[in-house]
Amino acid sequence: MSIERTHQTRRRFLSNFAFASGAIATGLGSWVIRPDWANAAEPPIKVGIATDLTGPIGYAGNADANVAKMVIKEINAGGGLLGRPLELYIEDTASNESVAVGNVRKLIQRDKVDMVLGGITSSMRNAIKDPIVVRGKTLYIYPQLYEGKECTPYLFCTGPTPAQQCDEFIPWLIKNGGKKFALPSANYVWPHLLNEYARKVIESNGGEVVFEEYYPLDQIDFSATVNRIMTNKVEVVFNTVIPPGVGPFFKQLYEAGFQKNGGRLSCVYYDENTLNINQANEIEGLASCLDYFKVLTRDDPVSAKIQSAYDKDFPGNFLFAAGSAATGTYRGLKLWEAAVKEAGKVDREAVAAALDHAKIAEGPGGPAEMVPGKRHCKMKMYTAVAKGGNYEIVGRSDGLVDPKEC
Amino acid sequence: MANAFVASFEILSFGAIIVLVVLGLGIIASMMGIFNFAQGEFVLLGAYVTYLAYSKGLPVWVGMLAAPFLVGALGFVLEALIIRRFYAAPIVAMLGTYALGLIIRECVRGLIGGLYISVPEPIGGSIDFGAVHISAWRSTIIAVTGVVMAGCYLLLSRTSFGLRVRATLENPALARASGISTSAIYGAAFAFGAALAGLAGALIVPVFSLFADLGIRFLIQGFVAVMVGGVGSFIGPVAGAGVIGTLSAALPWVMAPVVADVLVFVLAIAFIKFRPQGLISGKGV
């Protein structure tokens, strides 16, 4: 009898618990930003943003949400799209795929948004693409740099691909570092696929991969790795270890004298946020290759305008940085705007057909255009080197770099 | 030769870091029979205090000195307000400390904006022996760990306070009957354990940079260390921490790191299966 009663209370406890966690998971974390004007004849166009506002990569998700607020505000101030104002729906994906799928369904089923932009990690994209594209029959734009090979119809990628981050960067590294590469990596999909591509480029340019090694995502001691790098006389470290491991790794490399011996550190997701993980002297000379660096604002008036508009609206911790997908978000929204204008309506088929070849003349880092039939984006790429806690641009692509996907 | 020296230094330094983190956890687990799930967050708070002092323009070592006292004081308050109510139900106490840890962690995450922030070490750079460079700060951590361990040992084995602590640990009812205020001892022990965690956090933040999940990173390793070492003494968890820390730093030198990561836990589980009382089972200090 007593056993039965404990069972019952436990079951009740569990169901209450499940209810409470469900309420927490779905009730909070929704924001609607309504335009300050309306079109009497037609309802507003609904834009959905699903991004990681909370959790370990909350700094990136908040930056993306901020960019969306800024762009939507700008479009509304300019008279909206097709004469209709835009309404912004922001949902938290909370760095948790199961929470994310529920919240994305809310965007699709409850709010009936016309387009969803968001997701930062590849696992998040894979979790939410099906609810959006297949079951939700909605357009999906993914803004982050990633490992490539995402060829789902109605899914458009506006961040850099391995080809864009390696084709110009690795020859530069060989010229300004050396031929002996080490590829220390976190053990998940992005480093595996990026390394596969990088290895091809390294070898076709006469370089050599001394070792390619994968570590648990939470590993924070890299003494064995650093030792291998030092004893094998590696000249270029092409790093895809991610936080929290990357800070201690770079520190240990520095302390072992890697840079002092002429070694070149490189990491293709390094932007203005990640600069702060280490002290400036520990990562002096680190090279990165992205579609945007803040230092570009000095000689590119368009970038300067976007950056200062962002900084004015959102001063604080959430930086407008390429590694956070902030630039991909900007590009994605602007390309979608161009596509809607061309299509003259917001239904998925028409917008996807127009987005397939959409172009924008002005974006962070330069113009951008979709490659027809590929659902990936051509953009300018920049190579930058860390100097005294800032970046210095050392290389620019001649024109728009091809993503070489799909 | 140089290579072997570097390897043993690096392994020793990571072992020392784990020992430092586990010390407080072990004291609380042994003394009070509670696995403090908030221990990782006390480490995080120690790191955060250090960062706070640094960001206010104070020298880093000031924050490092203040961290154990502030975190210890917080531990004392939490023990009196919350933990004390759960001594009769260790499982509930565990969940309670987990909740506390969650609250502290998410508060810190909010305060630092979810970012990774570097804190410089008071003694930076490296010590060079010819072609071999070893980190000055890691050497300092090894030294401090040695001093703290010796200090704790002397405190517990040679002072009258230590005697009362051990009496409370061994037989609380008899200790109370002999006029020892066990609740005061529990409060002091919890505060002391928290202070040690605070110190650990302060010392390791220059190595690992400050981020909200800093503490939780060490929590699992800490528990495994306590299990391997054996609950019920001061020496047990320290020995366990030494073993776990050394293993997790040493194995990646000889095999794929992803395998090494799992193997540490497999070895620990196998060990506990055959020697459930742990390396050193509640004897001595």
Do A276 and B116 lie within an 8 Å CB cutoff?
A: yes
- Local confidence band at A25 (pLDDT 50, 70, 90 cut-offs): very low
Architecture of the domain whose range is A163-290+383-396: 3-Layer(aba) Sandwich (3.40)
A273 chain-B contacts, CB cut-off 8 A: 115
Distance, in angstroms, between B116 CA and closest chain A CA? 5
pLDDT at A335: 97
Residue B284 resides in a domain: no
Report whether pLDDT(A2) > 80.
no
pLDDT at A39: 78
The mean pLDDT of A52-59, rounded to a whole number, is 86
pLDDT at B168: 87
The mean pLDDT of B150-171, rounded to a whole number, is 90
Q: With contact defined as beta carbons under 8 Å apart, do A22 and A63 qualify? A: no
- In the block, which residue shows the tokens 């909206």? A80
How far is Cα B251 from Cα B15, in angstroms, rounded to an integer? 12
pLDDT digits (tens, 9 = 90+) for B91-132: 888 899 999 999 999 999 889 888 889 999 998 888 888 777
pLDDT at A9: 52
Would you tell me how many other CB atoms lie within 10 Å of the CB of residue B85? 12
Among candidates A61, A82, A63, A12, which has minimal Cα distance to A350?
A82
* The listed CATH number (3.90.1150.10, 3.40.50.2300, 1.10.1780.10, 3.20.20.70) that belongs to domain A10-160+307-375: 3.40.50.2300
Q: Which of A31-35, A67-71, A230-234, B153-157 has the lowest mean pLDDT?
A: A31-35
User: Could you tell me the CATH number of the domain that includes residue B22?
Assistant: 1.10.3470
Half-sphere exposure of residue A63, counting CA atoms within 13 Å on the CB side?
A: 29
- Local confidence band at A91 (pLDDT 50, 70, 90 cut-offs): very high
Distance, in angstroms, between B176 CA and closest chain A CA? 35
Which of A218, A276, A277 faces B217 most closely, judged by CB atoms?
A: A218
Helix and strand counts by DSSP (H, E) for chain A: 12, 16
Do A224 and B248 lie within an 8 Å CB cutoff?
A: no
Q: What is the ipTM of this complex?
A: 0.89
How far is Cα A350 from Cα A175, in angstroms, rounded to an integer? 46
Is pLDDT larger for residue A99 or for residue B33? A99
Residues of A with CB under 8 A from a CB of B: 55-59, 187, 213-216, 218-221, 223-225, 227, 231, 243-244, 247-248, 251-252, 255-257, 273-274, 276-279, 282, 316-318
pLDDT at B129: 81
Q: With contact defined as beta carbons under 8 Å apart, do B23 and B85 qualify? A: no
Give Cβ neighbours of residue B124 (< 8 Å, ≥ 6 apart): B136, B137
- CA A11 to chain centroid, in Å, comes to 41
Q: With contact defined as beta carbons under 8 Å apart, do A393 and A324 qualify? A: no
A256 chain-B contacts, CB cut-off 8 A: 126, 133
Give the number of domains in chain B: 1
Do A255 and B257 lie within an 8 Å CB cutoff?
A: no
How far is Cα A366 from Cα A115, in angstroms, rounded to an integer? 24
Report whether pLDDT(B259) > 80.
yes
Q: With contact defined as beta carbons under 8 Å apart, do A86 and A47 qualify? A: yes
Do B135 and A277 lie within an 8 Å CB cutoff?
A: no
pLDDT at A55: 81
Q: Look at the alpha carbons of B190, B191, B196, B202 in this order and tell me if their dihedral is positive or negative.
A: positive
Report whether pLDDT(A114) > 90.
yes
Token pair recorded at residue B93: 């106490």
Distances in Å between the Cα of A27 and the Cα atoms of A19, A23, A46, A88, A124 are 11, 5, 20, 18, 20
Distance, in angstroms, between A193 CA and closest chain B CA? 18
Parallel/antiparallel/unpaired status of strands A45-51 and A86-92: parallel
Q: Would the CATH topology of A10-160+307-375 be identical to that of A163-290+383-396?
A: yes
Q: Tell me if the pTM is above 0.80.
A: yes
Work out the percent of chain B whose per-residue pLDDT is above 70: 98
- Local confidence band at A338 (pLDDT 50, 70, 90 cut-offs): very high
Residue B150 resides in a domain: yes
Residue of A nearest to B246 (CA): A221
The mean pLDDT of A123-129, rounded to a whole number, is 94
Do B211 and A243 lie within an 8 Å CB cutoff?
A: yes
The mean pLDDT of A357-374, rounded to a whole number, is 96
* Among A255, A278, A281, A318, the residue to mutate for chain B (most B Cβ within 10 A): A255
Token pair recorded at residue B127: 């010590």
Parallel/antiparallel/unpaired status of strands A359-360 and A368-370: antiparallel
Among candidates A56, A67, A77, which has minimal Cα distance to A124?
A56
- Stated as kind and residue range, the H or E segment containing A377 is strand A377-379
* Among B1, B5, B9, B10, the residue to mutate for chain A (most A Cβ within 10 A): B10
Report whether pLDDT(A370) > 80.
yes
The residue segments making up the domain with residue B104 are: 2-274
Domain boundaries, chain A: 10-160+307-375, 163-290+383-396
Residue of A nearest to B112 (CA): A317
pLDDT at A209: 97
How far is Cα A355 from Cα B134, in angstroms, rounded to an integer? 55
Instruction: Please provide residue B109's backbone torsions phi and psi, each rounded to the nearest 5 degrees.
Output: -60, -45
Among candidates A174, A158, A60, which has minimal Cα distance to A115?
A158
* Among A24, A95, A217, A223, the residue to mutate for chain B (most B Cβ within 10 A): A223
B247 chain-A contacts, CB cut-off 8 A: none
Do A56 and B6 lie within an 8 Å CB cutoff?
A: no
Residue of B nearest to A316 (CA): B113
Parallel/antiparallel/unpaired status of strands A377-379 and A368-370: antiparallel
Report whether pLDDT(A1) > 60.
no
Residue B280 resides in a domain: no
Residue B285 resides in a domain: no
Among candidates A168, A175, A199, which has minimal Cα distance to A400?
A168
pLDDT digits (tens, 9 = 90+) for A132-141: 999 999 999 9
Token pair recorded at residue A214: 């994968």
